[in-house]
Amino acid sequence: MNTGWKKVLALGLGLTLAAGTLAGCGKKAAKETAAITVNDSTVTDGELNFLLRYQQAHFETTYGSLFSSLYGGSIDLWSQDLTGTGVPYGETLKEQTVSAMQEMLLAEQHMEEYGVSLTDDEKAQITSAAESFIAANGEEALEAMGATQENVERVLTLYTIRNKMETAMTADVDTEVSDEEAAQTTVSYVKFNAETEAPEPETEAVSEVEELLSETELPAETQEDLTEAGLEAQTEVRTKASPSETEIAEQLTEAAEAVVEGETEAGTEAEEVETESPEMIAARAQAQAQAEAFLAQAQTTDDWAALMAETADAADDDNITSGSYTFGADSTYPDAAIIAAAAGHEDGELADEVVAYDTGYYVIHVDDAFDEEATAQRKEAIVSERRQEALTALYETWTGDAEISVDAAVFAGLTFANTFLVETEAAEAVTEAAEAVTEAVTESGTEAVR
């Protein structure tokens, strides 16, 4: 099974404090104890719980409706094996949160060697942001999150230190990327799907994902990744993650594919050993004939865009679709056959032959053989990848040299009985105050947690 969710769900720990009301019943917090110890520094169970709950809130808000769409109805995200590892995602998020806290403590302990410190103004901004958050939420909600003035300040302080440290830690990363390495091509296509009256489970599941994608408008740099993933960005979550924000977008590349495979793996394996049905053989032949005829027509017109739109709009059924892909030489999506078909063609040229992939037949048009905007965005992504590699190497070295312990009882006691949602329409929040503390907290609009 594809393990793409391992990447997409490793979102890292970003923090955008927002005012409002946080709904969720909670128990009175016990006296706080050391949950994580790194050398001579600690994180309390209250601090750990606060950061975990904030990540939970953002995840449930951002992806909850998507999972409901894919699986139908409500779903307990935290008991599901979303990463293909056999581990419920609640346990995975807990482990990610602990790992992020460990990195924050390590970054704090290495501040002096990088000449990093917090200014008095930054400390004041942190205090102000924490006060605003506490004031905006009721006692019961704060207890559910483990949010006290001290806990929120400490978490935001550690988070700010890590951001400043990671800038210093990656200062020497090579930021030069050649056009050749980053070159991106954009193509558009008309696809003729081989469909029978009773589509096989794989086809039906993939169609649901494609329908979600067709309704999504996203920045150009994430189009390729989100097309493969089948995930739509329903709200803007501005975070600085343990991977960078650009990498978080890139980590969405395989997610829906994993969902689809998780639902249809058995059917797919069965198809590999069974003879294709006569109905599907006939449907393939019809789709291929349609694609061949369309290619011949496209070769006689100078207005590809009009022909593509006209053909898709005039289709009597759903077996004819159109869209676009942007990719580079090292891309894993779309299929290699589509990438190969576009190679060697200039702007405005058609691929010479129909491209067969899965149950579809594509007619490919090269819109932009060297997409400058997409190439520039890919350069930024490559630099971001280099920075993350440098950070990972440093954290691994520091972790290996450190004495680290996690309180097993505290870890086991972190459950997901409550549900937290981020409300996008609410009164004034503390976003602007948090922005002054770190670049990762950006103007994402007023948010509230309910």
Query: For the ranges 41-50, 68-77, 214-223, which has the lowest average pLDDT?
Result: 214-223
389 pLDDT tier (thresholds 50, 70, 90)? very high
What is the average pLDDT across 17-26? Answer: 43
The whole-angstrom separation of Cα 419 and Cα 432 is: 26
Beta pairing partners, 43: 36
Does residue 429 or residue 288 have the better pLDDT? Answer: 288
The whole-angstrom separation of Cα 339 and Cα 358 is: 15
> Residue 225 pLDDT > 80, yes or no?
no
**What does the longest C-alpha to C-alpha distance in the chain come to?**
77
pTM tops 0.85: no
pLDDT in tens, 47-81: 999 999 988 888 888 887 787 777 766 778 888 88
Q: What is the pLDDT of residue 66?
A: 80
Q: What is the pLDDT of residue 396?
A: 97
The answer to whether 224 and 333 are in contact (CB under 8 A) is: yes
Q: What is the pLDDT of residue 274?
A: 55
110 pLDDT tier (thresholds 50, 70, 90)? very high
Q: If you write DSSP's letter for every residue of 170-208 in order, what string do you get? A: TTTS-----HHHH-EEEEEEEEEE---SS--HHHHHHHH
The answer to whether 228 and 253 are in contact (CB under 8 A) is: yes
The answer to whether 407 and 435 are in contact (CB under 8 A) is: no
What is the average pLDDT across 411-425? Answer: 71
What residue has token string 């990762």? 440
> Residue 149 pLDDT > 80, yes or no?
yes
Q: How many CB atoms lie within 10 A of CB 40?
A: 8
Of 388, 194, 187, the C-alpha closest to 288 is 194
Q: What is the pLDDT of residue 67?
A: 77
What is the rounded average pLDDT for all residues in the chain?
A: 76
> Residue 131 pLDDT > 80, yes or no?
yes
197 pLDDT tier (thresholds 50, 70, 90)? low
Q: What is the pLDDT of residue 179?
A: 97
What is the average pLDDT across 384-395? Answer: 97
* 4: CB partners within 8 A, 6+ apart: 229, 253, 254, 255, 257, 258
